[in-house]
């Protein structure tokens, strides 16, 4: 189990470090919202899901996309704006999708994929399928009307969905305490009759254990949705490749406990050094191939500009 965790955590971290390194060159044509520091949430949840389960995510979606098995080459090509990207170079970092891997899409607009996940879960229930949906969103999305409407509908229809709130405490530059009068996100789900839990420290094993048990209940018992609030912390700026502890809205001191508890390091220490080195070498090769693929791929042709805007009969 820990070798799978480590591979996923290491892949996400190193991919995003490479994105941050290359970003100033302007080869990447899209704004990037990095998941560094938050990887354990996506890894823990996705390791607990089946291949035929689906996920919906946010604009900070690199970790989710990769943890669920999204195609790395196509992801990097999308960031480069290339025709071989997951959205043909038209969507960029904030709009990743790989339906073959069960990644049904991410969105730049806060809270918009929550009702989409609800609709997908409803369709799966009506079709009698036993796959489930995981809906990922941030603490800022819990202030949107779509969040409450979706929880209400999911509870009412007993939909097969896991709600996953990645609470990194900040909606751009504003702390949760300055936006919400009560620190009770996971308890709000209970008001809709949805079983709910909070994991305080972004521990990947704790996230996996909860998600595995919850997925079995949601899938097998037909009892309806469950909700997890995962407290976590982004190390980098809201959007872009740099740190932002000099901007005045948060301090490095606040980040230090989260950095000290880095799940990549903690999981890596549980592995034999040879195993860890083999994993790292393989991932590094895949990353090199992905960036080379993106660099060598063509940009979309001019005639692609007006394609994929409307459904063609």
Residues 199 and 228: beta-carbon distance below 8 Å: yes
Q: How far apart are CA 145 and CA 147, in angstroms?
A: 5
Residue 6 counted as domain residue = no
What are φ and ψ of residue 138, in 5° steps?
-95, 175
- What is this structure's pTM? 0.95
pLDDT in tens, 219-266: 977 789 999 999 999 999 999 999 999 999 999 999 999 999 999 999
Q: Residue 271 has which token pair?
A: 């592995």
Residue 64 counted as domain residue = yes
Residue 32 counted as domain residue = no
Residue 174 counted as domain residue = yes
Residues 237 and 37: beta-carbon distance below 8 Å: no
Is pLDDT of 307 > 90?
A: no
Output 243-251 pairs: Cβ under 8 A, ≥24 positions apart: 247/173, 249/170, 249/173, 249/174, 249/175, 250/170, 250/175
Q: How far apart are CA 49 and CA 135, in angstroms?
A: 12
Share of the chain above pLDDT 70, in %: 99
Residue 11 counted as domain residue = no
How many independent structural domains does the chain possess? 1
Contacts of 115 (CB under 8 A, 6+ apart): 146, 149, 150
Q: How far apart are CA 251 and CA 291, in angstroms?
A: 33
User: DSSP readout, 121-190?
Assistant: HHHHHHTT----EEEEEEGGGGGSHHHHHHHHHHHHHT-SEEEEEEE-SEETTEEGGGT-SS--HHHHHH
pLDDT in tens, 54-95: 999 999 999 999 999 999 999 999 999 999 999 999 999 999
* C-alpha distance from residue 274 to each of 5, 278, 279 (Å): 16, 6, 9
Q: How far apart are CA 136 and CA 150, in angstroms?
A: 13
Could you tell me where the beta strands, DSSP code E, fall in the chain?
54-58, 103-107, 133-138, 161-167, 170-171, 174-175, 196-199, 226-231
Q: What is the CATH number of the domain that holds 144?
A: 3.40.50.970
Report the alpha-carbon angle 38-13-140, nearest 5.
Answer: 25
pLDDT computed for residue 264 by the predictor: 97
Q: Residue 150 has which token pair?
A: 């979706």
* Residue given tokens 């998600």 in the structure block: 211
Res. 194 pLDDT band, cuts 50 70 90: very high
Is pLDDT of 139 > 90?
A: yes
Residue 5 counted as domain residue = no
Residue 131 counted as domain residue = yes
pLDDT computed for residue 222 by the predictor: 78
How confident is the prediction for the chain on average, in pLDDT?
96
Residues 81 and 30: beta-carbon distance below 8 Å: yes
Residues 294 and 76: beta-carbon distance below 8 Å: yes
pLDDT in tens, 21-60: 999 998 998 999 999 999 999 999 999 999 999 999 999 9
Res. 163 pLDDT band, cuts 50 70 90: very high
Average confidence (pLDDT) over 160-179: 96
Is pLDDT of 311 > 80?
A: no
Is pLDDT of 187 > 90?
A: yes
Residue 285 counted as domain residue = no
pLDDT computed for residue 313 by the predictor: 64
Average confidence (pLDDT) over 255-283: 96
Q: Which of 213, 52, 243, 58 is nearest to 142 (CA)?
A: 58
SS3 at position 98 = strand
Is pLDDT of 283 > 80?
A: yes
Structural domain of 203: 37-71+94-279
């Amino acid at each position: 189990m820990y070798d799978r965790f480590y591979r996923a955590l290491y892949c996400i971290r190193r991919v995003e470090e490479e994105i941050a390194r290359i970003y100033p060159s302007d080869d990447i044509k899209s704004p990037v919202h990095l998941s560094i520091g938050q990887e354990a949430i996506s890894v823990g949840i996705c390791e607990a899901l089946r291949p035929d389960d689906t996920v919906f995510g946010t604009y900070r979606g690199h970790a989710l996309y990769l943890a669920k098995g999204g195609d790395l080459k196509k992801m990097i090509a999308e960031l480069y704006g290339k025709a071989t990207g997951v959205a043909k170079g038209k969507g960029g970092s904030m709009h990743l999708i790989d339906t073959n891997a069960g990644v049904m899409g991410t969105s730049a607009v806060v809270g918009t994929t929550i009702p989409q996940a609800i609709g997908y879960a409803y369709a799966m229930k009506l079709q009698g399928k036993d796959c489930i949906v995981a809906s990922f969103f941030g603490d800022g999305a819990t202030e949107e009307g779509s969040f409450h409407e979706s929880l209400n509908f999911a509870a009412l229809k007993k939909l097969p969905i896991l709600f996953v709130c990645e609470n990194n405490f900040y909606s751009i530059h504003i702390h949760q305490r300055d936006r919400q009068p009560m620190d009770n996100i996971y308890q709000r789900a209970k008001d809709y009759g949805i079983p709910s839990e909070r994991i305080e420290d972004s521990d990947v094993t704790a996230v996996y254990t909860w998600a595995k048990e919850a997925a079995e209940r949601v899938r097998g018992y037909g009892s309806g949705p469950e909700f997890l609030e995962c407290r976590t912390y982004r190390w980098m700026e809201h959007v872009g490749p740099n740190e932002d502890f000099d901007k005045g809205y948060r301090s490095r001191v606040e980040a230090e406990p989260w950095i000290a508890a880095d799940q990549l390091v903690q999981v890596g220490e549980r592995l034999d050094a040879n195993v860890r080195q083999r994993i790292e070498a393989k991932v590094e090769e895949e990353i090199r191939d992905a960036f080379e693929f993106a660099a060598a791929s063509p940009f979309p042709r001019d005639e692609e500009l007006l394609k994929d805007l409307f459904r063609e009969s």
